[in-house]
Amino acid sequence: MKTTTIRKTWKNQRGYTFMELIVVISIVGLLAAVGLSRMKNSPTAAQRANAARIVVNDFRYAQEIAMTYGRSVRIDVEPGLNLYSLKWNDTNEYLPSITGNGNFIRRFGENEFQDVHISDSDLSNNNLRFKTNGEPISNGVKLTEQRIAISLDNTHNVVIIPETGLVKIYSQ
């Protein structure tokens, strides 16, 4: 008895060969490796950028509180301790934390900002006060030019604009 093998051949076969799949996977792997190596340093940069945004928001909060309650709010920057705090200027008492737990003291170099440090402040006596109209004052003197309120690792500068008290970030 004669056996015949029936083999169908498809016209316009669709699909990929094993070799084509290996090449594509290799290229994707190479691109992923390059991308991950570039992202390796970004957590610290992201921490700094987030910290700068938080500083801006805290300073704007202090200005808003001063205008809302009709009491001057002082921000004491302590680069050596890597922190700043918000206080009522007349009583020297801390403002309550936004979360409601304790005093308003923002620390860097720990928790989510482990790699962030306050490197400098251009304010006289490292303090800034917002008057009841929102005007910024440093060490009892009205600001006449932009001042770096806080510099984070010399890469993100939080700057106070005179007259309006606008708070901005300048990144290097």
Which pLDDT score, from 0 to 100, does residue 35 have? 66
Question: Model confidence over 67-107: pLDDT tens digits?
Answer: 999 999 999 999 999 999 999 999 999 999 888 888 999 99
Q: Is the pLDDT of residue 115 over 80?
A: yes
Which pLDDT score, from 0 to 100, does residue 4 have? 65
Least confident span in 19-23, 79-83, 161-165: 19-23
Which pLDDT score, from 0 to 100, does residue 15 have? 72
Cα–Cα dist 108/23, whole Å: 46
Residue type, 102: G
Question: Model confidence over 35-50: pLDDT tens digits?
Answer: 655 555 558 888 899 9
Which pLDDT score, from 0 to 100, does residue 64 have? 94
Q: Is the pLDDT of residue 114 over 90?
A: no
User: What percentage of residues in the chain have a pLDDT greater than 70?
Assistant: 87
Q: Is the pLDDT of residue 34 over 80?
A: no
Q: Is the pLDDT of residue 9 over 70?
A: no
Q: Which domains does the chain have, with CATH numbers?
A: 45-171 (3.55.40.10)
Which pLDDT score, from 0 to 100, does residue 13 have? 64
Cα–Cα dist 134/65, whole Å: 9
Cα–Cα dist 133/131, whole Å: 5
Which pLDDT score, from 0 to 100, does residue 156 have? 94
Cα–Cα dist 137/34, whole Å: 48
Helix (H) / strand (E) element for 119: namely strand 118-120
Mean pLDDT over 149-169 rounds to 92
* Contact by Cβ (8 Å): 130, 161: no
Q: Is the pLDDT of residue 141 over 80?
A: yes
* Contact by Cβ (8 Å): 122, 152: no
